[in-house]
Amino acid sequence: MEQANLKELEAVIAIARRGTFRAAAIDLGMSSTALSHTIGRLEADLGVRLFNRTTRSVSLTDAGRLFMRQVAPSLQDLHAALETVRSQRETPSGTIRINAAPFAARAIISPLVLEFLRRHPDMNVDIVTEGKMVDIVRDGFDLGVRVAGLIPTDMIAVSLGRPQRHAVVGSPEYFEQHGKPLVPPDLLHHRCIRVRLPDGSLFRWRFEKDGEAVQIDVQGQATLDEASLVKIAVLESTGLGYTMEQEVLNDIEAGRLVRVLEDWTPPYPGLCLYYPGRRNLSAGVRAFLELARDHSRRAGHSPALETSP
């Protein structure tokens, strides 16, 4: 039997992590067909199947679960050793893998990611957007981007500056027909766009004023699982939406949307980059973090917002 190569091992971990060959192939930068052939060769060499495959699902076999328990940690150690060597380079090169919530990726793409690539032409950046939280160490990411309150306590966080804020919005046509809610409980008498979270539960709209916190289980005809779809539905007067402020500011200023309950949506800690403190950082990751700190300082935010475990 031939020795399994590094790409084959990484392929198994990517499929187990993403749950489908298609998503794993995108992460690995290869076609689904090529990935299937890679796994087929590895399974033939090992003499066991690592995955149960049907037309609708992919799951680990007992041998696959054993592989993940024993091989995945060793592969992480190997990547850490390679990072340690790369960190000695003075010129950033290679690939930075970033996991982020979709809205967080949109927030960093222009001021950080594209600027970083202009400054460092030998670097590549691979961004994976997911609504759910992931273990960035286990899943092979260098950095994560999340709201400050969601970052694991064992990670080092670098503030990206501006606080975040939610906004409740509707179209002018909607408010002409249905009036405006004055306090959060009034939303129970309005059509609202509901949002399904990655775990399958429905998001409750959260409000706070003068120390009073309220969560409203809104009702409405449309239930969506992506924030960008909410704005489309609201613009079409389907109902009211609860979204990130920066996603709708241009529409509010242009008069396409009207904001309500603004005094019930105070700002909260904003986005942060985060990474494991115990890992030696590559030259590329160090350069990206320095750019993030510079961006935060230029925006008028103190670097003292950086936290570590």
Long-range contacts of 224-232 (CB under 8 A, 24+ apart): 224/193, 224/194, 224/195, 224/196, 225/131, 225/195, 225/196, 225/197, 225/198, 226/102, 227/102, 227/103, 227/195, 228/102, 230/193, 230/195
pLDDT of residue 100: 93
Residues 6 or more apart in contact with residue 139 via CB below 8 angstroms: 17, 99
Q: Which CATH class is domain 166-264?
A: alpha beta
What are 173-230's pLDDT values in tens digits? 999 999 999 999 999 999 999 998 777 889 899 999 998 999 999 999 999 988 779 9
Give percent above pLDDT 70 in the chain: 90
Confidence at residue 247, expressed as pLDDT on a 0 to 100 scale? 86
Band (28; pLDDT cuts 50, 70, 90):
confident
Tell me the fold of 94-163+269-305: D-Maltodextrin-Binding Protein; domain 2 (3.40.190)
* Maximum mean pLDDT: which of 56-65, 176-185, 282-291: 176-185
Q: What's the confidence (pLDDT) of residue 305?
A: 46
Q: So what's the pLDDT on residue 301?
A: 53
> What's at 180, amino acid-wise?
K
175 and 168 Cβ atoms separated by less than 8 Å: no
CATH number of the 6-72 domain: 1.10.10.10
pLDDT confidence tier of residue 300, bands split at 50, 70 and 90 = low
Over residues 247-270, the pLDDT tens digits come to 899 999 999 999 999 999 998 778
* 130 CB burial (10 A radius; 0-12, 13-18, 19+): middle
pLDDT band at 130 (very low <50, low <70, confident <90, very high): confident
CATH 3.40.190.10 domain locations along the chain: 94-163+269-305
CA distance 238 to 173: 10
pLDDT of residue 83: 65
pLDDT interval class at 164 (50, 70, 90): confident
Which residue ranges does the chain devote to CATH 3.40.190.290? 166-264
Which pLDDT belongs to residue 97? 94
Average pLDDT, the chain: 86
Gyration radius from the chain CA atoms: 23
